[in-house]
Structure 1
């Protein structure tokens, strides 16, 4: 809406205030994704489970499981539950004005569950398993509301910049806490505590960080009324199921959004598998010490801050789609270089890590903002719930390919190079996305640059 003549349009100022608050949720939740999910949870839970194992096995619902496989089963269970639950939560969110309250509620519930990891000691791996599953479910749910709010705190011309800044805040916050925790774990003897206690303190610090910084978006954002809601009979829950059913039927009317979603599932699975497998590749294939790999992980985090901001500026000049495609070409080069990277030589490994950081934040940030342009008004949370649910529901495919190639070749080099297929397929599908048509079908305003 245009302000009447002689009256200043204060809407941009209001959006800017909300945007500054919104950035801090990425800053807050990145503590969980880096310190806990990315680095410390899996090895610590394995160590706890090993102390409780009998004949190198623990019982999970009556099934005998090796301790080393336990984190994979837990993460898989959590991601599959997310794939089922998130679309319903998205439908609920689109029918309520209380999106920021739901964001904060799930964030605080997730942080409380993550804090329980501090009490996982001795052989009590079961508490760790349940706490992580609940925390990861809440992490995904809060992400749905956070991404839906992106569409409400920014207009179409602002969205690439706002999303990129959010990712930059996330990498900066996650990297800062991880650096502090890296110092504590490395020098735990100097402060008179065991390594296990240092790890537990680090996981607790991530939970506290997540909860504390969530207060900034909770106080700074406002609840926006729902837009263009379809009338569905029944209460809130039954209405949400009804809307979800209608949306599933109507998604075929948005073929551009669906094409992008499939493209994203491929290239994002490649990205996530590279990140998940990088430490294994560095330690097992290239022969680096775990501390060296962790330091490289920190490098990736901080370079990703500048990568996200740079990609956002480039999208403002060239459009999000061409910049994402350029990023995918760089990802193809990264996995190709990994095929011939020399063993034990630090400088090439650090340069590869810097290249990963450059495109990591940028491609993910622009994928989020680009998809937001293809979403029908009033269904932001619901479509972003599909975005996250399908991402989580298919996140096993890249790791499966990586594992199978290693199984047949006995080397991590061809295994990581095989991921080039995900970037090629994702890029080819993205080339088929007609941006202008998708924005028009969704009923959104056309940005100045597409």
Structure 2
């Protein structure tokens, strides 16, 4: 009888864990549409065109009196968003770990980002400053929300399941991105049939991503559950009162007690900076340097989304056979080769751009999903949200150094080819740093069980 009770409890626990995992997948389904339709496809070229409408005769806009080339405004806005995120995420992460109440914080961040994205419908004419502000708010809010979302992974999946669960989450996100992008492509290409201008069609796509994000975020908020923490039991009344940079410094100081975890995070921050910059700047490279039309760019991004679903699941299976670290290292080699090919693509050649998109799609989801699951093994128990706040600084298009380097290279050379090839440095250095991290020992020193294959 006692054995039956134990088995029943274990079965109930497994069923509850599966239910949470399925709810967790849906946050990727909700917010990935923002990353795809807004950040990757529509907002970069559209905000750049709005900035050009407001530019002076030399092609500069002057936010707060600072001369900025209109073609660099979007990249600089992405960089500014991570500065805001750096100030906010450590506070929220520490508060979540101390209180154990992640869901209210996740809801606040998700709906702030969704609201800012929906308000992008108001962009038009020369309102580039409004576009920059909304981009900064949406990106920073997405960083905070993704940090909280990622921090659930160690709690809802045991070590042997994390690569698969993380990969499924990314696959859900790319599937949603593909679905909505098809709808957006129909609206954009047939905008006259729908009785709207091209500009209005773009603004509908931007706002629609915000509505999608807010609507589907309800599913994980209903299914995920908060868990009590030791800090909550002790009554951490001062949670969230430390200034952002001081809290981030405190998190980094705590990581110094786990130098191998810090070493992996450094490698991730470097190579993921390159990944996110490629994602956020690829549409500008295609439109401004290669002279490709918006419909071609949308089709290429759709190809990335479709292949990223298969790529994420395939790389998850490769990780089970070869280990997550080796699989990630292989993906970084592929990223480097892809950028090299992109540098030599001739202008006005959509076929070459589609080949490039296919290569990106096959490695994109897997490199991100496996990085997330690998890092989850390196986080000390009870520090999930706090550590993932540092992780999230360079995730999902929030990297600041890559867009800054991209923007500065273009501002100094006037060439997007030089800007795109400069990103090879991130993948090469990231490869070297990750190769030096002994992940099995890092997991053990973090106080976590070491999976058989890692």
TM-score, shorter chain, exceeding 0.5: yes
Can you list the C-alpha shifts for 1:71-113, whole angstroms capped at 9, x where unaligned? 3333222211111221111111111222122212211121112
The residue number in structure 1 matching 2:40 is 38
> Which residue of the other structure, out of 308, 315, 318, is the alignment partner of 1:311?
315
The residue number in structure 2 matching 1:258 is 262
**CA shift at 1:343, angstroms?**
5.3
Can you list the C-alpha shifts for 1:279-305, whole angstroms capped at 9, x where unaligned? 344345545434223211111111111
**CA shift at 1:13, angstroms?**
1.6
**Aligned partners of 1:282 and 1:288 also within 8 Å:** yes
The residue number in structure 2 matching 1:139 is 142
**CA shift at 1:393, angstroms?**
11
CA distance in 1, matches of 2:286, 2:125: 30
Change (3 A) 1:144 1:409: closer
**CA shift at 1:412, angstroms?**
5.0
The residue number in structure 2 matching 1:148 is 151
Which moves more between the two structures, 268-277 or 90-99?
Answer: 268-277
**CA shift at 1:240, angstroms?**
9.3
**CA shift at 1:30, angstroms?**
1.0
Which moves more between the two structures, 423-432 or 392-401?
Answer: 392-401
The residue number in structure 2 matching 1:324 is 328
Can you list the C-alpha shifts for 1:248-295, whole angstroms capped at 9, x where unaligned? 332211111111111112211222233334334434554543422321
**Aligned partners of 1:93 and 1:99 also within 8 Å:** yes
CA distance in 2, matches of 1:361, 1:327: 10
**Aligned partners of 2:94 and 2:386 also within 8 Å:** yes
Matched, 1:425 2:429: yes
CA distance in 2, matches of 1:328, 1:314: 15
> Which residue of the other structure, out of 100, 113, 132, is the alignment partner of 1:97?
100
> Which residue of the other structure, out of 173, 195, 212, is the alignment partner of 2:198?
195
**CA shift at 1:120, angstroms?**
2.9
CA distance in 2, matches of 1:423, 1:353: 18
Query: Residues 285-304 of structure 1 correspond to what in structure 2 (within 5 A)?
Result: 285-304=289-308
The residue number in structure 2 matching 1:378 is 382
**Aligned partners of 1:92 and 1:240 also within 8 Å:** no
SS in 1 for 2:297: helix
CA distance in 2, matches of 1:191, 1:6: 58
The residue number in structure 2 matching 1:9 is 10
The residue number in structure 2 matching 1:109 is 112
Change (3 A) 1:222 1:91: same
> Which residue of the other structure, out of 110, 113, 130, is the alignment partner of 1:127?
130
**Aligned partners of 1:84 and 1:389 also within 8 Å:** no
**CA shift at 1:368, angstroms?**
0.6
CA distance in 1, matches of 2:250, 2:287: 49
**CA shift at 1:194, angstroms?**
1.3
Change (3 A) 1:75 1:282: closer
**CA shift at 1:171, angstroms?**
1.1
**Aligned partners of 1:83 and 1:390 also within 8 Å:** no
CA distance in 1, matches of 2:420, 2:251: 37
Matched, 1:178 2:185: no
**Aligned partners of 2:54 and 2:61 also within 8 Å:** yes
Which moves more between the two structures, 299-308 or 327-336?
Answer: 327-336
**Aligned partners of 2:167 and 2:369 also within 8 Å:** yes
The residue number in structure 1 matching 2:78 is 75
**Aligned partners of 1:91 and 1:244 also within 8 Å:** no
**Aligned partners of 2:79 and 2:401 also within 8 Å:** no
CA distance in 1, matches of 2:223, 2:343: 47
**CA shift at 1:360, angstroms?**
0.6
**CA shift at 1:119, angstroms?**
2.4
Can you list the C-alpha shifts for 1:338-378, whole angstroms capped at 9, x where unaligned? 34445555444322211110001100111011011001110
CA distance in 1, matches of 2:352, 2:397: 34
**Aligned partners of 2:41 and 2:297 also within 8 Å:** no
> Which residue of the other structure, out of 263, 269, 276, is the alignment partner of 1:272?
276
Can you list the C-alpha shifts for 1:313-355, whole angstroms capped at 9, x where unaligned? 2112222111111111212222233344455554443222111
**CA shift at 1:60, angstroms?**
2.3
In the alignment, structure 2 segments of 5+ residues that lack a partner are none
**Aligned partners of 2:339 and 2:421 also within 8 Å:** yes
**CA shift at 1:167, angstroms?**
0.8
Give TM-score, length-normalised by structure 1.
0.90
Can you list the C-alpha shifts for 1:185-209, whole angstroms capped at 9, x where unaligned? 1211111111122122111111100
CA distance in 2, matches of 1:245, 1:205: 38
The residue number in structure 2 matching 1:29 is 31
Q: Calculate the aligned-residue CA RMSD, in Å.
A: 3.0
Can you list the C-alpha shifts for 1:4-57, whole angstroms capped at 9, x where unaligned? 755451222211111011001011011211222222223333444455556565
Change (3 A) 1:253 1:136: same
CA distance in 2, matches of 1:347, 1:116: 35
> Which residue of the other structure, out of 5, 21, 28, is the alignment partner of 1:19?
21
